[in-house]
Each structure stands twice: as structure tokens, then as C-alpha cells.
Amino acid sequence: MIGQLSGILLPVLALAGIGFGWRRFGFPFEREFVTRLIVNVCGPCLIIDSFAGLTLPIADVANMVVAGIAMFVLTITCAWGVLRIARLSVRSYLPALAIGNHGNIGLPLCLFAFGETGLALGVAVFVTTSVGQFMLTPMLQSQDSPIRTLATTPVIYAAAIGTVVFAGDLQLPEWIAASIGLLGDVTIPLMLLALGNTLAGLRAKRLPMALSLGATRLVIGFGLALGVAEIFGLEGVSRSVLILQGAMPAAVFNYLFAARYDRDPDDVASIVLTSTLLSALTLPLLVSYVLAIAA
């Protein structure tokens, strides 16, 4: 088990650590360029490639998508209640408390733990969360139209193309499939490097609040994912992937949005940082658990 855990966790930590050290040593890293490349090119290619390579029954994938939507809605509702009780700004903190890092951390873990099938199922959860995030955050934190934001988000189109290819059992031309595959393969290393680089620039302020909300993020995510998996009757790898994705720390994109819209970015950065550091302690237990229930 220790060898299996090492094979899953150490590559994630190693690549994120390289990104972290890169910034600490002051080496140039065009984070905005890398982020745009992931969001606009490599990430969409990963989605299409993952869906195109799926061999699961379409009903299983559809069930996973619906379970991901249910988990997102319930997490948003629960996080809203926590913030109201704590008398904290819903507009500023709801995304950080409700939206986990299903991309930068979740997808690599799904891949290393469960292979290509795990990655594809993890992508299904990632896509549903991304759509929700790009709808919810502009509505909460800015005057931007969520419809316009969605219309300019390549992930949406990639999900649609991938769904058509998968549902129609279509074969892409070989050169297109190969090109998409190569670009998709770059996504996870870039995500981890960008994660480490971003974390190296974050600073924790108002530490007690950040620790409380960071821990709450992990507890809410794990508990609701466990409940949703039970309600939808998910089993095996599907159950494990949903729980793994649900228990991720706060997404780095929450900080990027908060900085863009000037919604308490320092506090949001603290929540992202503390939840990520806490997850470094909980990940061995989490991965051990999802491996055991997938067996």
C-alpha cells in the first residue's frame, strides 16, 4: 500500500514542488500565459481526448455527470449556510468554500490512482464544476454576464465535442486525434507546475479564519461527496473518483477571480493556501480510502 500511495502522491507533489521552487528562486514563469494555455487550449484537448477514449457505458458517465452536478449544488448550499452563520461575506468567500481544486490536484490524482478511466470520470466532474464556477462567480463578484462568460469558455465547447464523439462512438481523423492527445498530455504537468508557482506567491493572513474555512472546505467536500455517491448508487472507480474530487482543497481559480474582481483577494488566497496545506496532510488517508473502496 505504501508503494502504491507513493506512486500516486509523489508525482503530484514533485511537479507542484518544482513550480513552487521555481518561483522561490526567482526564475521567470509566465503564469498568465500558462493559465491561458491550460484554459483555452490544453485543458479542452484533455477533455475531448478523455471522452473520446472512454469505454464505459454511456449510462455510467451520465450518472457521474448528474452526481457531479448534485454535489456542486449541495456544496454551494451548505457553504452558503456556513457563511451566513459565521456572518461572513457570501459574495467574497462562497466560491473559495464551495469550489474545490478538481483540475490542478484532482485530475492528476484520478489519473495516477485509477488510470485513464479514472481520469475520464474525473474530467466529467471537473467539467460540471467548471461550468458552475464560471456561472456562479461572475454573478456573485461582478457585473459580468454569466452567459457571456460561459460563451467565451472553451471548456464548454470541448465538453460538447467530447460528448458527441463519445455518445456517437465516432472516430476522429488520426492526425486530429494525435494532435489533441499531445496537447491534452501537456495539461496535467502544466497544471501542477502552475499550482506550485501560484502557491509560492500566496500569503496567509487572518490565519484563524483561513484555517477554519480551509478545514471546513475539506470536511464539507468529503462529507457531501460521500452522501451523493451513496444516493446515486455509485460503485467502484466511479464512487472513488467522486469522493476524491469532492474532497479537494479550494481551487486556485477562486483566488484569481477574487483578485480580478477585488473581492477580498488576500483572504481568499489564505483560504486556498491553508486548505491546500491541510490537504497535504489528509491526502494519504483520502487516497488510501478511495483505493480501498474501488477494489
Give CA–CA dist 148/230, Å, rounded: 35
Q: How many CB atoms sit inside 10 A of residue 281's CB?
A: 9
| Helix axis angle, 236-246 to 207-231, nearest 10° | 160
Full domain range(s) for residue 262: 2-294
Per-residue pLDDT at 283: 93
Is pLDDT at 86 greater than 70 in this prediction? yes
Contact call for residues 99 and 132 (beta carbons, < 8 A): yes
Per-residue pLDDT at 100: 93
- pLDDT confidence band for 149 (50 / 70 / 90): confident
Give CA–CA dist 102/130, Å, rounded: 9
Per-residue pLDDT at 230: 95
The CATH number of residue 246's host domain is: 1.20.1530
pTM of the entire predicted model: 0.89
**Of 283, 51, 71, 55, whose CA–CA distance to 155 is shortest?**
51
**Of 244, 23, 289, whose CA–CA distance to 121 is shortest?**
244
- pLDDT confidence band for 103 (50 / 70 / 90): confident
- pLDDT tens digit string along 203-229? 878 888 999 999 999 999 999 999 999
Per-residue pLDDT at 51: 87
- pLDDT tens digit string along 43-80? 999 999 988 888 888 888 899 999 999 999 999 999 99
- pLDDT confidence band for 152 (50 / 70 / 90): confident
- pLDDT tens digit string along 157-197? 998 899 899 888 888 899 999 999 999 999 999 999 998 99
Contact call for residues 98 and 75 (beta carbons, < 8 A): yes
- pLDDT confidence band for 153 (50 / 70 / 90): confident
- pLDDT tens digit string along 267-284? 999 999 999 999 989 999
Per-residue pLDDT at 2: 64
- pLDDT confidence band for 114 (50 / 70 / 90): very high
- 265 or 221: whose pLDDT is higher? 221
Is pLDDT at 121 greater than 90 in this prediction? yes
**Of 129, 133, 284, 279, whose CA–CA distance to 215 is shortest?**
279
Least reliable range by pLDDT among 10-19, 183-192, 258-267, 284-293: 258-267
Is pLDDT at 141 greater than 70 in this prediction? yes
Give CA–CA dist 96/253, Å, rounded: 9
The structural domain count of the chain equals 1
